[in-house]
Structures are given as structure tokens and as C-alpha cells.
């Protein structure tokens, strides 16, 4: 299901629930093996357990990590490969889920190119569970020895399952990213599988007919989840109960009635064969799909994704035959101390981590991390509007990207309010001692102009104050936070707070800017873009009217041109043909939205700044202008390019 979903089969948008099925099966099978070991001699060998995990998981995972890291460098270029190598470091330590939480990754509806190693999150969650579970069984076994172990484990699991599921529901409503990747919200699924293993002896006493019904019903629930769920489903939350519960019912049914129910079909040779290859197939398919998609720069056709999945299947079969099966069933390793297997596992982890670290060292840190001081800017050093327009026209035919200066590093990212915050630090740029104040109020599309406004403020002795909140548009309407699949009341609270601060500052100018692309409106707890234009227009008009009495002037910065491919990364991947990364103007510019904002601004006494001529000719938006990358990703202007535009920006807002 997961592979079919990633391949883009339109009728299986909820195929991602296959991971939840995997968690149930894993908890059932691994706990069953642990209990079998305990029943045999009333002990569990922790070293032996991890030796088996090493032989099962690490050889194939290490090969895919290595291949993906190197393949990213070959096909996506140094800039992107450096980032992916960082993901490989986390993945090699089975901590990639925490890395993706840290990056605020949206697994179901990311607007950025996903990491080719993003799928390692599920392995991380699984191994984090098994870092604790065998030890927990031993501890429970030592308590109240007169009570049978299975009864004690059943009680512990019931409490843990309830707590974890409750936290899943709570976290999904407040922080969708953390809920998706957190081991705390996913533990209940592995725990539910474990509970089935604990209760297996009792299940065997139930009528076979009941087992057949449970088996068929469970598989039906999984299929319904795959067909009905999609990227807008609030997941995992409580919705995860349907696929995970279905998997639990199917396992229970198979335990009660072996060979009956859904197993009549699942025991067919083709399904058994795919089952053997499933682990390697899961590892290989995602890097192939994501690297190919990012290299091409556009979504792949269904036929192309299916061909790549066939290639993944071939690689999976080879990995299974040459690596996975021989290592897991090695009689040489089984006859020797389990410490040898554990030692091999440590070496594989060090090798994977070391390879990623070495690649980062060879390529250097990501440009975004370069720490350089912003020079005291003199606006005459920057080009005029005519020079900018000429450079944009010349950029259309640029082939080679010159070596880029280190990206300007400022604190403005840390000064932006997070998703859950309702206030921001109000960082100051330009001339902090000036009595003349410019306020930058908006989302990251206001923040991205700070290098330019900082230069303008230094040169003209103006204090520049940042009031920005991630994904919180200026326009006053019910905002939907797509990255966490929830309503965004913190945005409305931030708007109210920002208005209070503006009133207190009485600034000479307030500059408003927001990102239109990917914006959604919240309607009764669901995202929609229907009616967005009207809501945005009314909301922007409301905010202009409220700010005007508090400020000398109100400026609406028009939205930028959006590249089809992620700026620096596209240029790095196509270093010998920069024109590959150019974008047709009609695809880059949301003309109707920009015209609407201009009309609203003029009707309500604000000034509108059209930024499109700084990025595009009449037909093309080049990726390289004046030797610089214009965008650092698919959604933001590169900081060096923003600084280069300081003079035209100052002129556009009436400051020079």
C-alpha cells in the first residue's frame, strides 16, 4: 500500500496507512518471539535480541543509506546532497523521526521536495520502541512473581495503549508534525500488536468462524482506510484507529482461524513472495522515486513511477538474495556469541554515519549556515531599476552559475514567531537609535526582505522592526496551517498582538507582505481554497484600514515570482545548464492574485509594490541574475539577491 501510494495511484491516496499495519504486525511478531524465549527458560537475552535485530535490519538499511547519499550527490548536486547527508546521519542512528520533527516536515502534504530518506522515520520509531520493550518485559516479569507474566503485561499494555492513543489525538490537533513522527504517539500501535501476542493463547479458544469474520473485516478496514484517507486527513489522531484496528483484527482473526478468512488470498505465492521482499522494497522505492522526481524537476507520470517501482522491486530481490537473507540466516553468526552480531551492527552504524559525515566535510556545510557579517551597505553600490531589469533579461540566457558568495546569515529566522507562538521578539535592524521606524509585518515573505531593509535602514538611518510569524498571512481571514493539518488560531492572535505593537510604535511606515502560494482557509475545521481570493481581499482591506491610522504610510509588497524548482538545489543539480532551472512567467506569477492585492491597496489608501520585474521578463523568470541565484528554495528570495535589490526596493517604497 505504501509503495502504491508513493507511486501516485490516484485511488489509493491513503496508502500511507500501510506503515500503521506494519507497526501492528511488528509488535505482534517481535513480542511473540520474546515471549517464546521467556517461556523456554524464563529469561530473555537482551544481547541475543539485539543481535537478531542487527542481522534483520542493518545490512539492507546500510546499503540503501549509502546508495541514497551517494546518488543524491550524483543526481541532485552538492547543495542538496549536503542536506540529505545530514538526514543520513540521523537515519543511521535511528533518530530520523526527531530530525523531521525538528525540520517541521509535513509527511502527507509537504510543499518542499521531501528527503529521499524520509521513510526511515518508521524504522526509527520501531527501534526506539524495541530499545525499551524487551527491558520492560524483564522488569514486569520480576514484579509480583505469583501473577502470570501475560496478565501483568496485558495490564501494562492496556494502560500504555490508552495513554499513547490519547496523546496521538491531542498532538494531532496541536502539532501535526510531532504527532506523525513521535514515538509517543505511535507506541500504542506497536503496543496493540504486542497485546495480541500476549493474548494469543486466549484467542485460540475462540470459535473459528469468529476468526474468519475478524480476518475479513480487518482487511476490509485497512482497504477502506487506503481508499478514503488522503493528505487532508487529520492523521494519525483518532483516524489511525481504523487502519491500525483493522490490522489488529486481521492478526487476531489469523490467530483464531489460521489459513481462513483473508489468509486464503494472502497465502497465495505472489503475496508470500512480496512479503519476503517487503522490507527491502520499502527501503529502495522511496529514494528512487524522490531523487528521480527532484532531478526531473516536475512530477513524474504514473507510468514513470511504476517503472521506478519495478526497478525498486528488482533491487529488493537482489538485496534479499545477496544480503538480507544470507546475513539474517547465517549459521556462522548464529553459532557464535551474539556480541559479534552486535559488533557488526555498531560497525555498520559507524560506517553509515561516517560516510554521511565525510560527504558533508567534503562538500562543506550548507550555504544557508555560512556565518558572515552583513557589510555596512551604501545604497549607491546597488543597481538602479533599469540595471536590474537589464540583468534579469540577460539572466534568461545564463548557462553557468558562478561560484556563489556565502549566504548572508542574520538572526531574522530566530526572530520569527513559531506556529504555536502568538508574539514575536520584535528584532531591530538598520539604525536601532533612529526615531524613524519601519515595521515589517507579515509572514516569511516579509522576513525574506530583511537583508535589503537592513541595508536601507543603515544607509538612511531608519530603525527597522520585524514582526513576522511563520505561515501567518497579513489578510484577516480564518487561516489553515497546512503543515500541521489544523486550524491556525495562533495566527489570529498574532494579528491582534501585532496591531497593538504597531499602535504603540506609531511607525513612519508599515510594510505588509504574505505568501499566496499554498495558502488555505479554514472552514469548519477543514482546509479549502474555495472563496480564498474574496476572503483574502476583504481581510487585507480590513488590516490596511486598521493600520492606516497608526502609521505614516502602508506599503503592500506584491508577491514574488515562484520558481518551479527549488532555487539553489536545482542550480546545483544542473550546474552546467542553469537555463534548466528557469521558469515560464505564466507558471511563476500569480497574476490574478497580484492584481487583486494592487486593487485593494489602491482602494484603501496603501501603496502597492510590484516585485515581478525584479524577477521576470515578459516570458521567463531566470534562476540566475547578475551571477546570483534568485531563490534559495521554491518559496523565498535568496538573501544575497534581496540585498542586491536594496536600491530598487528603497525607490519602490519611496525612500530614495
Q: In what order do the strands lie in the sheet with 486-487?
A: 486-487, 479-481, 520-523, 526-528
Whether the CB-CB separation of 305 and 8 falls below 8 Å is answered with yes
H or E element in which residue 536 lies: helix 532-547
Rounded average pLDDT over 608-615 = 96
pLDDT tens string 503-556: 999 999 999 999 999 899 999 888 998 899 999 999 999 999 999 999 999 999
- What's the pLDDT at 123? 97
Q: Is residue 633 predicted with pLDDT exceeding 90?
A: no
Where does the pLDDT of residue 176 fall: very low under 50, low under 70, confident under 90, or very high at 90 and above?
confident
pLDDT of residue 104: 72
**Between 625 and 361, whose confidence is greater?**
625
- Per-residue pLDDT band at 380 (split at 50, 70, 90): low
**Cis bond leading into 272, ω under 30°?**
no
Question: What pLDDT score does 406 carry?
Answer: 65
Q: What pLDDT score was predicted for residue 106?
A: 66
C-alpha cell at 110: 509537504
The region of weakest confidence among 106-115, 144-153, 583-592 is 106-115
Q: What is the mean predicted confidence (pLDDT) over 169-198? A: 94
pLDDT band at 410; cut points 50, 70, 90: low
Lowest mean per-residue pLDDT among 58-62, 65-69, 98-102: 98-102
Of all residues in the chain, what percent carry a pLDDT higher than 90? 74
Return d(Cα 247, Cα 226) in angstroms, integer: 12
The confidence band for 370, taking pLDDT boundaries of 50, 70 and 90, is: very low
Domains of the chain and CATH, by start: 2-363 (no CATH), 395-652 (3.40.50.1110)
Please compute the mean of the pLDDT values over residues 365-371 and round it to a whole number.
35
If pLDDT is split at 50, 70 and 90, which confidence band does 369 have?
Answer: very low
What pLDDT, on the 0 to 100 scale, is given for residue 371?
30
Mean pLDDT to the nearest integer, 396-414? 71
Confidence of residue 566 (pLDDT cuts 50, 70, 90): confident
Instruction: Work out the pLDDT band at 376, boundaries 50, 70, 90.
Output: very low
Q: Which of the residue ranges 427-431, 547-551, 571-575 would you say has the lowest mean pLDDT?
A: 571-575
Instruction: Specify the pLDDT at position 413.
Output: 57
| CB-count exposure of residue 340 (10 Å: 0-12, 13-18, 19+) | middle
Name the burial class of residue 447, with classes exposed (0-12), middle (13-18) and buried (19+) by CB atoms within 10 angstroms of its CB. buried
Model pLDDT, residue 136: 96
CB-neighbour burial class of residue 39 (10 A; exposed 0-12, middle 13-18, buried 19+): exposed
Backbone angles phi and psi of 147, in degrees to 5: -85, 130
* Burial of 157 from C-beta contacts in 10 A (0-12 / 13-18 / 19+): buried
> Residue 15: which of 239, 230, 273 has the closest Cα?
230
At residue 372 the predicted structure's pLDDT band, cuts being 50, 70 and 90, is very low
Q: Residue 613 in 3-state DSSP?
A: helix
Mean pLDDT of 31-56: 94
| Cell numbers 521531501: residue | 114
- For residue 583, the surrounding DSSP H or E stretch is strand 583-584
Which pLDDT score is estimated for 74? 87
User: What's the pLDDT at 163?
Assistant: 97
Is a pLDDT exceeding 60 seen at residue 419? Answer: yes
Average pLDDT, the chain: 90
pLDDT for the residue 218: 96
In terms of DSSP H, where are the helices of 93-148?
96-102, 120-130, 133-142
Q: Which three cell numbers stand for residue 467?
A: 514582526
d(CA 285, CA 233): 24
CA atoms of 416 and 449, how far apart (whole Å): 13
Quote the cell numbers at residue 243: 487502519
81 pLDDT more than 90: no
Q: In this predicted structure, what is the pLDDT of residue 374?
A: 32
Residue % of the chain over a pLDDT of 70: 94
What residues does 527 pair with on adjacent strands? 522
What are 115-167's pLDDT values in tens digits?
999 999 999 999 999 999 999 999 999 999 899 999 999 999 999 999 999 99
- Range in 287-301, 354-368, 387-401, 614-628 with the lowest mean pLDDT: 354-368
| Per-residue model confidence (pLDDT) at position 41 | 85
Q: What is the pLDDT of residue 309?
A: 95
Greater confidence (436 vs 380) lies with 436
Bridge partners for 459 per DSSP: none
Which residues, other chains included, contact 480 with Cβ-Cβ below 8 Å and sequence gap of 6+? Answer: 486, 487, 488, 520, 521, 522, 527, 528
CB 346 within 8 A of CB 354: no
The Cα 242–Cα 218 span in angstroms is: 9
- Look at residues 82, 78, 237, 188 and name the one whose alpha carbon lies nearest to residue 570: 78
Q: How far apart are CA 68 and CA 52, in angstroms?
A: 25
Least confident piece of the model among 202-206, 260-264, 380-384, 578-582: 380-384
Whether pLDDT at 70 is above 80: yes
Helix (H, G, I), strand (E, B) or coil at 337: coil
Amino acid at each position: 500500500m505504501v509503495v502504491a501510494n508513493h507511486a501516485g495511484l490516484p485511488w489509493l491516496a491513503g496508502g500511507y496507512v500501510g506503515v500503521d499495519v506494519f507497526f501492528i504486525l511488528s509488535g505482534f511478531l517481535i513480542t511473540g518471539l520474546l515471549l517464546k524465549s521467556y517461556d523456554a527458560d524464563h529469561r530473555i537475552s537482551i544481547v541475543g535480541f539485539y543481535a537478531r535485530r542487527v542481522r534483520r535490519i542493518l545490512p539492507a538499511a546500510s546499503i540503501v543509506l549509502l546508495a541514497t547519499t551517494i546518488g543524491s550527490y550524483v543526481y541532485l548536486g552538492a547543495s542538496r546532497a549536503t542536506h540529505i547527508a545530514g538526514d543520513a546521519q540521523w537515519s543511521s542512528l535511528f533518530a530520523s523521526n526527531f530530525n523531521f520533527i525538528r525540520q517541521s516536515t509535513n509527511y502527507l502534504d509537504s510543499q518542499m521536495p521531501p528527503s529521499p530518506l524520509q521513510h526511515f522515520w518508521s524504522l526509527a520509531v520501531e527501534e526506539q520502541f524495541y530499545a525499551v520493550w524487551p527491558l520492560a518485559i524483564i522488569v514486569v516479569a520480576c514484579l509480583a512473581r505469583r501473577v502470570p507474566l501475560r496478565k501483568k503485561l496485558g495490564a501494562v499494555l492496556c494502560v500504555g495503549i490508552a495513554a499513547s492513543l490519547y496523546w496521538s489525538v491531542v498532538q494531532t490537533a496541536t502539532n501535526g508534525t510531532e504527532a506523525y513522527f513521535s514515538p509517543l504517539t505511535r507506541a500504542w500501535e506497536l503496543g496493540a500488536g504486542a497485546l495480541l501476542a500476549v493474548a494469543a493463547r486466549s484467542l485460540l479458544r475462540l470459535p473459528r468462524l469468529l476468526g474468519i469474520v475478524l480476518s475479513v473485516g480487518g482487511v476490509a478496514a485497512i482497504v477502506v482506510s487506503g481508499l478514503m484517507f488522503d493528505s487532508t486527513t487529520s492523521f494519525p489522531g483518532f483516524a489511525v484507529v481504523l487502519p491500525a484496528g483493522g490490522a489488529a483484527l486481521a492478526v487476531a482473526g489469523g490467530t483464531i482461524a489460521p489459513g481462513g478468512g483473508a489468509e486464503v488470498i494472502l497465502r497465495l505465492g505472489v503475496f508470500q513472495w512480496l512479503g519476503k521482499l517487503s522490507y527491502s522494497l520499502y527501503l529502495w522505492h522511496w529514494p528512487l522515486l524522490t531523487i528521480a522526481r527532484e532531478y526531473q524537476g516536475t512530477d513524474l507520470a504514473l507510468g514513470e513511477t511504476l517503472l521506478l517501482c519495478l526497478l525498486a522491486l528488482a533491487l529488493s530481490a537482489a538485496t534479499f538474495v545477496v544480503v538480507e537473507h544470507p546475513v539474517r540466516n547465517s549459521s556462522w553468526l548464529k553459532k557464535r556469541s551474539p556480541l559479534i552480531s552486535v559488533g557488526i551492527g555498531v560497525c555498520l552504524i559507524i560506517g553509515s554515519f561516517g560516510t554521511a559525515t565525510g560527504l558533508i566535510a567534503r562538500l562543506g556545510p550548507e550555504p544557508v549556515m555560512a556565518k558572515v557579517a552583513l557589510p555596512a551597505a551604501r545604497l549607491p553600490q546597488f543597481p538602479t531599476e533599469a540595471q536590474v531589469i537589464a540583468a534579469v533579461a540577460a539572466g534568461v540566457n545564463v548557462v553557468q552559475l558562478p561560484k556563489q558568495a556565502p549566504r548572508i546569515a542574520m538572526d531574522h529566522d530566530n526572530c520569527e514567531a513559531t506556529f504555536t507562538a502568538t508574539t514575536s521578539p520584535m528584532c531591530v535592524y538598520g539604525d536601532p537609535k533612529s526615531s524613524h521606524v519601519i515595521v515589517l509585518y507579515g509572514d516569511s515573505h516579509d522576513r525574506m526582505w530583511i537583508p535589503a531593509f537592513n541595508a536601507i535602514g543603515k544607509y538612511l538611518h531608519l530603525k527597522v522592526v520585524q514582526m513576522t510569524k511563520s505561515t501567518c498571512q497579513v489578510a484577516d481571514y480564518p487561516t489553515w496551517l497546512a503543515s500541521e493539518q489544523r486550524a491556525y488560531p495562533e495566527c489570529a492572535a498574532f494579528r491582534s498582538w501585532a496591531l497593538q505593537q504597531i499602535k504603540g510604535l506609531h511607525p513612519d511606515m508599515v510594510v505588509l507582505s504574505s505568501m499566496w502560494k499554498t495558502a488555505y482557509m479554514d472552514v469548519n475545521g477543514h482546509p479549502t481554497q474555495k472563496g480564498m481570493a474574496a476572503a483574502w481581499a476583504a481581510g487585507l482591506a480590513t488590516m490596511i484600514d486598521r493600520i492606516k491610522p497608526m502609521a505614516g504610510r502602508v506599503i503592500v509588497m506584491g508577491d514574488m515570482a515562484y520558481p518551479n524548482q527549488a532555487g539553489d538545489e536545482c542550480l546545483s543539480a544542473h550546474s552546467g545548464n542553469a537555463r534548466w532551472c528557469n521558469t515560464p512567467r505564466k507558471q511563476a506569477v500569480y497574476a490574478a492574485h497580484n492584481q487583486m492585492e494592487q486593487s485593494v491597496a489602491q482602494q484603501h489608501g496603501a501603496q502597492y509594490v510590484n516585485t515581478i520585474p525584479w524577477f521576470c521578463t515578459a516570458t521567463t523568470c531566470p534562476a540566475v541574475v547578475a551571477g546570483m541565484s534568485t531563490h534559495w528554495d521554491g518559496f523565498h528570495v535568496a538573501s544575497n539577491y534581496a540585498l542586491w535589490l536594496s536600491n530598487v526596493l528603497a525607490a519602490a517604497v519611496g525612500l530614495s
